[in-house]
Amino acid sequence: MKVHDILIVGAGLAGMRAALATSSHLDVALVSKVHPVRSHSVAAQGGINAALGDHDSWEKHAFDTAKGGLYLGDQDAIEAMCREAPGEILDLERLGVIFSRDGQGRIAQRPFGGAGAVRTCYAADRTGHAILHAMYEQLLKRRLFVYEEWYVTALIVENGACRGVVAWDIVHGGLRTIGAKAVILATGGSGRVFFTSTNAVINTGDGMALAYRAGAPLEDMEFVQFHPTTLKDTGILITEGARGEGAYLLNTLGERFMTKYAPEQMELATRSTVSLAIGREIAEGRGVDGCVLLDLRHLGRGRILERLPQIRELSLEFAGVDPIESPIPVRPGAHYQMGGVKTSQWGETELPGLYAAGECACVSVHGANRLGGNSLLETVVFGRRAGTRAADYVRGAAPRTPSEETLRREQARISALWANRGPDRAWQLRDELGKVMSFNMGIFRTRQTMKEAFGKIRALKARAPHVLLQDHGKVFNTGLIQALELGFLVEIAETIIAGALAREESRGAHYRGDFPARDDANWLKHTLAYQAPDGPRLSSAPVTITSFPPQ
């Protein structure tokens, strides 16, 4: 059995940044269920925030982030992220990221929602692609080993500490124990809990569920961001960068309806405000075929082709609409999980030897609503911090070979799956789950819709271990991976609903029709969910307020 110093689960931006931050004297490896450059970070479009401009400062960035998150973010972590952002952007550039330029040859920046300054650095509308590929080149240069297309099914916990993982080799088949003195989770988001989602099918909340099953708490899971503009019928993201460049939102009457909801910020109000506004317009009959319209025509052909080429391509290909000539039909869709594995500012979880960074973690910097451009920033800042801290932790620690007990348990679980007789298939239950969550746990929630969702998800949880696997082959058995992911998805869905039911207020992305007001007196606190035999056991933790008292 191989025992590494540090094993990083996930090779997206957070995982790669963590790996590059560790010392070259350590034995560091990464595990990824897909080839590293297929990690979902590659899909990020609009950009990454940093206060680089003469009229901006990290303090202003921190204020916007705290305010945009409705004061639920921990301000010490927010300050760390915003203070370190400019240095991180320059580091990325030195690593080879080709950012778009302004007329003076400096890194160009565009306006994004909820930001009081023009702060979002970008590489056209393919920012994630540009950063991920540059980072991957560095990974190759460092000759870091990647378990490519391996799927982690469980964490190994012995003597109260994380000692490695059990993983399925997707290419050849078979389970293996991979030992490590420290494990960093960087497994990305859980957007596929919802049916209408901007996320790739691989975003199934695995790391969050792995930590939860191992006893670490999940924080603020009820806060799921619904992006205001996803392409009709597909959930494909139309970046906020489009509104940053000046696109309008119109209803069926041709009105720029944001005048009613956010007359000052208009289309660049925070995502939760814009999503709620679109939801209202559609619900009150002023939508267009279940959508509203995003109008870019006045930007002109040249600017659309230069700054938003991918958006044009996606609209043409998936909706048959050329934004140079016609408005794009859009509606809100699940986009980002603000919650995740509870960590310190250095990526430490409550389980010794286990760290988390990126979208799977909750540091927490986004609070109740993430500002666009802050997530890519979070992956690199807190990926680096988690890598640094894990390296300190393992220095001098003796390698300990974990027992094969977790492996045997996982082997038994997979054998039981293969013995199932059906009738359900994993993809059917995943569809059912997504539809329940999109319908009952979307932009508008009430006790009744959430209770109904809870009942349905519990029933799905009971059916999930019995799904039929038609393919009994070991090589590239995608049915098996889907079935394992389904187990994670239902558990994540349960924590979202439990947190949302408990939180009797509206704040940011969590809007309750039965409690429409924000309630700082009772709810300016984090929700924590621990795994228990009957479902999530909830508790709470205080929010760290430093410089910005809630307004």
Ligand X SMILES: Cc1cc2nc3c(=O)[nH]c(=O)nc-3n(C[C@H](O)[C@H](O)[C@H](O)COP(=O)(O)OP(=O)(O)OC[C@H]3O[C@@H](n4cnc5c(N)ncnc54)[C@H](O)[C@@H]3O)c2cc1C
For the segment 461-500, give every residue that binds ligand X (CB under 6 A): none
Q: Which of 20, 242, 368, 376 binds ligand X (CB under 6 A)?
A: 376
163 is catalytic: no
Identify the DSSP state of 265: T
- The b/e string for 452-464 (b: 16+ C-beta within 10 A; e otherwise) is bbbebbeebbeeb
Nearer to ligand X, 348 or 359 (CB): 359
Q: What's the closest the beta carbon of residue 520 comes to ligand X, in angstroms? A: 27
The smaller minimum CB distance to ligand X, of residues 90 and 459, is found at: 90
Q: Which of 6, 7, 8, 14 binds ligand X (CB under 6 A)?
A: 14
Build a one-symbol-per-residue string for 327-356: x at contacts with ligand X by CB under 6 A, - elsewhere: --------xx--------------------
Query: Is 182 within 8 Å of 200 (Cβ atoms)?
Result: no
Residue 141 has which token pair? Answer: 């240069």
HEC states along 283-339? HCCCCECCEEEEECHHHCHHHHHHHCHHHHHHHHHHHCCCCCCCCEEEEEEEEEECC
22, 65, 75, 198: residue in contact with ligand X (rule CB under 6 A): 198
Residue number, 123 or 436, with CB nearest to ligand X: 123
Looking at 12-20, 169-177, 453-461, 523-531, which segment touches ligand X (CB under 6 A)?
12-20
55 is catalytic: no
Task: Please report whether residue 229 would count as binding ligand X according to CB under 6 A.
Answer: no
Interface with ligand X (CB under 6 A), residue from 6, 21, 28, 43 = 43
Question: Mapping DSSP to helix (H, G, I), strand (E, B) and coil, where does residue 128 land?
Answer: helix
Could you give the CA distance from residue 32 to residue 36 in angstroms, rounded to a whole number?
7
Residue sitting closest to ligand X (CB): 12
Q: How many residues sit in the footprint of ligand X (CB under 6 A)?
A: 45
Of residues 68, 287, 367, 373, which one binds ligand X by CB under 6 A? 373
Q: Which of 47, 323, 347, 479 contacts ligand X by CB under 6 A?
A: 47
Please state, in angstroms and as integers, the Cα–Cα distance from residue 399 to each residue in 30, 203, 234, 274, following that order: 18, 32, 48, 51
Nearest to 466 by CA among 411, 425, 523: 425
Q: Are 349 and 330 in contact (CB under 8 A)?
A: no
Kindly identify the residues of this chain, within the stretch 231-290, that bind ligand X according to CB under 6 A: 237
Distances (CA, A) of 70 to 118, 142, 450, 514, 543: 21, 41, 22, 19, 11
Q: Is 68 in the site for ligand X (CB under 6 A)?
A: no
Q: What phi and psi, each to the nearest 5 degrees, are found at residue 421? A: -110, 0
Binding-site string for ligand X from residue 138 to residue 167, where x marks contact by CB under 6 A and - marks none: -------------xx---------------
Out of 39, 275, 345, 369, the only residue in the binding site for ligand X (CB under 6 A) is 39
Residues 6+ apart with CB under 8 A from 455: none
Select the span of 37-45, 67-75, 103-111, 430-438 touching ligand X (CB under 6 A): 37-45
Residues with a catalytic annotation lie at 227, 243
- Interface with ligand X (CB under 6 A): 9-15, 31-34, 39-41, 43-48, 127-128, 151-152, 186-189, 198-199, 202, 206-207, 237, 335-336, 358-360, 372-376, 379
